[in-house]
């Protein structure tokens, strides 16, 4: 959706046409679901958090500054809620793989290859789990959402320098873990 189209929808919601907000939900829920899942690694928590993101957005849309992108704003809400969630549930054991039932699986022809890749994925997942939430947020937005450094800075309300340092530290830590695990 174009920036202008989004703004038009946002203005309508601001003017009381609340049903228009469902358009924004349809537009962003898939992307937000994936991003939030990458942060929390738990399907039911992800669903709750995505719901909360949209409720926060709806309540705060009157104060949304139209000079920013709606996407940046809603990602900021999503990442803040995810970081808060991670801080709250830091000690909780997270099931590593809940996805098979909920996500469509791409089938591999070779079961041995599939098993080997599955082990590697688990190692990477484990490594990602060990990242601090603030570094993880930057890493997720850059690696999976392909946000630019500037966009990440706006979404997380941090400086570009902080984005670079967090990203660098995150990759350094992942590298160390994966080297130790023998994945690299």
Residue ranges that bind other proteins, judged by CB under 8 A: 13-16, 18, 21-22, 25-26, 29-30, 33-34, 37-38, 43, 47, 50-51, 54-55, 58-63, 99, 102-106, 117, 120-121, 124-125, 128, 139, 142-144, 148-149, 164, 167-168, 171, 174-175, 178-179, 183-184
Nearer to other proteins by Cβ, of 22 and 84: the residue is: 22
Helix (H) or strand (E) holding 14: helix 3-14
CB neighbours (10 Å) of residue 176? 13
Specify whether the CB–CB gap between 40 and 86 falls below 8 A: yes
114: helix, strand or coil:
helix
**Least Å distance between CB 58 and other proteins?**
5
CB neighbours (10 Å) of residue 16? 7
**Least Å distance between CB 90 and other proteins?**
21
**Least Å distance between CB 5 and other proteins?**
19
Specify whether the CB–CB gap between 75 and 145 falls below 8 A: yes
85: helix, strand or coil:
helix
**Least Å distance between CB 65 and other proteins?**
9
Specify whether the CB–CB gap between 98 and 45 falls below 8 A: no
Nearer to other proteins by Cβ, of 4 and 106: the residue is: 106
**Least Å distance between CB 165 and other proteins?**
9
- Token digits for 149? 């450094």
């Amino acid at each position: 959706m174009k920036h202008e189209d989004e703004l038009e929808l946002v203005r309508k919601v601001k003017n009381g046409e609340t049903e228009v907000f469902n358009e924004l939900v349809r537009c962003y829920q898939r992307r937000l679901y994936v991003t939030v899942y990458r942060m929390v690694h738990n399907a039911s928590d992800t669903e709750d958090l995505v719901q909360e993101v949209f409720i926060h957005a709806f309540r705060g849309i009157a104060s949304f500054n139209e000079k920013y992108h709606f996407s940046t704003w809603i990602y900021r809400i999503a990442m803040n809620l995810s970081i808060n969630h991670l801080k709250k549930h830091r000690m909780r054991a997270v099931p590593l793989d809940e996805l098979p039932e909920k996500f469509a699986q791409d089938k591999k022809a070779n079961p041995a290859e599939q098993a080997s890749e599955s082990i590697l994925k688990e190692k990477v997942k484990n490594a990602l789990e060990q990242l601090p939430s603030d570094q993880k947020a930057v890493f997720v937005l850059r690696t999976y959402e392909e946000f630019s450094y500037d966009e990440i800075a706006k979404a997380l309300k941090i400086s570009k320098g902080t984005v670079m340092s967090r990203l660098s530290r995150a990759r350094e830590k992942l590298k160390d873990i994966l080297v130790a695990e023998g994945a690299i």
